[in-house]
Amino acid sequence: MCTHIPALEERGFMVTLDKHIWQIAPVDGDHGRSTQIISSMLEMAHSLHLPVVVEGVETNEQANVLRQMGARDAQGFLYYRPMPAKDFEALLDGGNNN
């Protein structure tokens, strides 16, 4: 298995944590296990030098908690709503339409 990790990295693979994974609501008796699972997943990906993108971040509170767990990159409604490709290109172009 370990020999496959560099090959995946060379091919541009990354780990994504979908909001359905990380938005696990703590249950009575959970004792922080949900948080530990997410934190461990982030640690494992980082130790393998695989980039991680956390998807579905909608609030500052979520962003802060995930950042404290070691998440470096995220996407979601907190940052931008879905938009047409033309608007996205304009955003990347700094708002210029040339």
Catalytic residue among 55, 58, 61, 89: 55
3-state SS of the chain? CCCHHHHHHHCCCCEEECHHHHCCCCCCCCCCHHHHHHHHHHHHHHHCCCCEEECCCCCHHHHHHHHHHCCCEECCCCCCCCCCHHHHHHHHCCCCCC
Active site residue 55: yes
Alpha-carbon distance 67 to 74, whole Å? 9
Q: Catalytic residue numbers?
A: 55
